Amino acid sequence: MAETTVRTTPDALDAELLEATLDAALDAARAGDAARVEALLEPVHPADVADLLEQVSQDDREALLAMGSAVIDGDVLSEISDAIREEVLDALPDDVVAEALRDLDSDDLVDIVEDLEAEDQGRILGAMDAADRVAVEQALAWPEHSAGRLMQRELVVAPEHWTVGETIDFLRKADHLPDQFYHVILVDPRLMPVGYVTLGRVLSSGRDAKLRDISEESFRTVTASDEEADVAYIFNQYHLISCPVVDGAGRLVGVITIDDAMNVLDEEHEEDMLRLAGVGEESSISDGIWDTVKSRLPWLAISLVTANIGALVISQFEAVIARIVVLAALMPVVAAMGGNAATQSLTVAVRALATRDLTGANAWRVVRRELVVGLINGLCFAAVMGLAAWLLFGAPMVGSVIGLALIITLIVAALSGVLVPLLLNRLGFDPALSSGTFVITMTDVIGFFAFLGLASVMLI
């Protein structure tokens, strides 16, 4: 096979060139040509290299990992999905892992280590420099999903009484600064943060200006024990770029930056979507067959149970259906319309709860809105379906029954879609995980009962 030649530059690769580059790198890895793999992947963003590792087959992934540092560095390791990270780390020699970890910030190191098994954690911690190992171990002492796990310890601190000139001189002489930072954090003599100044204000102010005089009004702190979801909400709500983290005594222990906060928001959104679909919050396209089966089977089993509840309701009207067979043809319409309407209302409600747009203060206004929306939608589709049933089956009363049933079903769907997640959230349950089953079951049961009950009254 002729060798593929791909021209690459340090600039961002367009989609077509990127695909060709990754294909060529994969071919080179299969051939065991580490030098060519390294040359091809050097201009590629670490996130794209991580995507390549996640998307290829296990054999091709092993071929790429066999290239060691030609493929894996710290940035790639931090971008790899949790679903395959442990597999990647197990496949790499200790020296490659140590080299990859050397230049990572403490928050990225914690992210890599925290979800590993104890044995793998020990191996990775052993590959770190002493200072990094201590920082990670201290971070792991904080609760899971807390600000202490999310923060990085690399930060820039200055006494609150310093001037801009003193700060610039300090920054220029510093032996080590974080690779990326946005604020100089101001502290008092007890190491308690009292404000921060953006780098832009530092560079645009005179040397004699006091840092406290040019500090930002957006300053706030979070406690290391705070939930990371609460921290992400604060970043999103108040448009923060970074936020100091303090311990229980109010002393500065780290800083959280916007990239980490946005990652938490993305993960929260992804988990909600996966939970609503009933496929498990950690499901991934990289999962194997049995992992995928195990994540989906329980929810399918619950769906089977709830479907049988609907079937039980239908069985109570067996005589009605036997006498008016056309009802059997129209039942799927009731179920489909109710299910779709419930999913619409439920998705909006769960998302609003996650972003805290739906609270006790506006809950009843939202419930009233859903009631009106369900009524209007019900009336619209009742008119359409009632007329269609009349024309198709030549029975105006059948049209009336399906129309009334749709009005009831769409009202119930809209209301249950918002009331059920609100109730579960109030009781302390995750509405994204639990709501779907209850809402769909309630909508189906009431929809079938309304349709067949009305039929038994109006048609017999």
Cα torsion angle, 431, 437, 440, 443, sign: negative
Residues 162 and 134 in one domain: no
Domain membership flag for residue 152: no
Residues 416 and 318 in one domain: yes
Cα–Cα nearest to 74, from 49, 55, 54: 49
Residue 376 to residues 204, 338, 383, 406, Cα–Cα distance (Å): 57, 14, 11, 11
Q: Which of 273, 298, 321 is the last residue of a domain?
A: 273
Domain membership flag for residue 391: yes
Domain membership flag for residue 3: no
CATH number for the domain that contains residue 384:
1.10.357.20
pLDDT score of 358: 86
pLDDT score of 295: 66
Residues 217 and 115 in one domain: no
Tokens of 19: 């695909």
Residues 85 and 194 in one domain: no
Domain membership flag for residue 281: no
pLDDT score of 2: 41
Q: What is the pLDDT of residues 404-450, one digit of tens each?
A: 999 999 999 999 999 988 988 888 877 776 677 788 888 989 999 99
Q: Where are the beta strands (DSSP E) in 290-442?
A: none
pLDDT score of 287: 62
What percentage of the chain has pLDDT greater than the value 90? Answer: 35
Q: Of the segments 80-94, 114-128, 168-182, 279-293, which one has the largest average pLDDT value?
A: 168-182
Return d(Cα 389, Cα 326) in angstroms, integer.
Answer: 10
pLDDT score of 111: 85
Residues 232 and 372 in one domain: no
Residues 401 and 315 in one domain: yes
Q: H-helix or E-strand containing 331?
A: helix 326-354
Domain membership flag for residue 66: yes
pLDDT score of 164: 95
pLDDT score of 405: 93
The neighbour count for residue 42, using CB atoms within 10 Å, is 10
User: For residue 7, what pLDDT band results from cuts at 50, 70 and 90?
Assistant: very low
Residues 302 and 442 in one domain: yes
Residues 241 and 297 in one domain: no
pLDDT at 456 over 80: yes
What percentage of the chain has pLDDT greater than the value 70? Answer: 92
Tokens of 81: 């999905």
Number of domains comprising the chain: 3
Domain membership flag for residue 279: no
Give the long-range contacts of residues 110-118, CB within 8 A, separation 24 or more. 110/136, 110/139, 110/140, 110/149, 110/150, 111/78, 112/77, 112/78, 112/85, 113/140, 114/140, 114/144, 114/149, 115/82, 115/85, 115/86, 116/85, 116/86, 116/89, 117/86
Domain membership flag for residue 131: yes
Contacts of 292 (CB under 8 A, 6+ apart): 283
Residues 434 and 334 in one domain: yes
Return d(Cα 51, Cα 28) in angstroms, integer.
Answer: 17
Bridge partners, residue 257, by sequence? 242
| Averaged pLDDT score across all residues of the chain | 86
Q: Which of 226, 243, 273 is the last residue of a domain?
A: 273
Angle at 112 between CA 106 and CA 118, to 5 degrees: 110
Identity of the amino acid at 162: W
Tokens of 159: 């006494």
Least confident window among 24-28, 106-110, 205-209: 106-110
Specify the higher pLDDT residue, 10 or 448: 448
Bridge partners, residue 227, by sequence? 146
Return d(Cα 107, Cα 175) in angstroms, integer.
Answer: 20
Q: Of the segments 119-123, 254-258, 440-444, which one has the largest average pLDDT value?
A: 254-258
Residues 370 and 418 in one domain: yes
Return d(Cα 435, Cα 349) in angstroms, integer.
Answer: 10
Q: What is the pLDDT of residues 285-339, one digit of tens each?
A: 556 677 767 767 776 777 788 778 888 888 888 888 888 888 888 998 998 999 8
Residues 52 and 87 in one domain: yes
DSSP 212: G
Return d(Cα 166, Cα 207) in angstroms, integer.
Answer: 8
pLDDT at 70 over 80: yes
User: For residue 275, what pLDDT band results from cuts at 50, 70 and 90?
Assistant: low
pLDDT score of 201: 94
pLDDT score of 277: 61
pLDDT at 1 over 60: no
pLDDT score of 6: 43
Q: What is the pLDDT of residues 124-137, one digit of tens each?
A: 888 888 888 888 88
Q: What is the mean pLDDT of residues 60-87?
A: 87
pLDDT score of 8: 44
pLDDT score of 3: 43
pLDDT at 112 over 90: no
Domain membership flag for residue 4: no
User: For residue 5, what pLDDT band results from cuts at 50, 70 and 90?
Assistant: very low
Q: Which of 242, 273, 304 is the last residue of a domain?
A: 273
Residues 199 and 90 in one domain: no
Least confident window among 200-209, 290-299, 321-330, 341-350: 290-299
Return d(Cα 86, Cα 45) in angstroms, integer.
Answer: 21
Q: What is the mean pLDDT of residues 224-252?
A: 92
CATH number for the domain that contains residue 192:
3.10.580.10
pLDDT score of 86: 84
- Output the pTM of the full model: 0.67
Range of the domain at 105: 15-141
User: For residue 4, what pLDDT band results from cuts at 50, 70 and 90?
Assistant: very low
Tokens of 67: 């290239």
201: left (phi over 0), alpha (psi -120 to 50) or beta: alpha
Cα–Cα nearest to 267, from 222, 226, 221, 228: 228
CATH number for the domain that contains residue 76:
1.25.60.10
Q: What is the pLDDT of residues 351-403, one digit of tens each?
A: 888 778 888 888 899 999 999 999 999 999 999 999 998 888 888 898 999 99
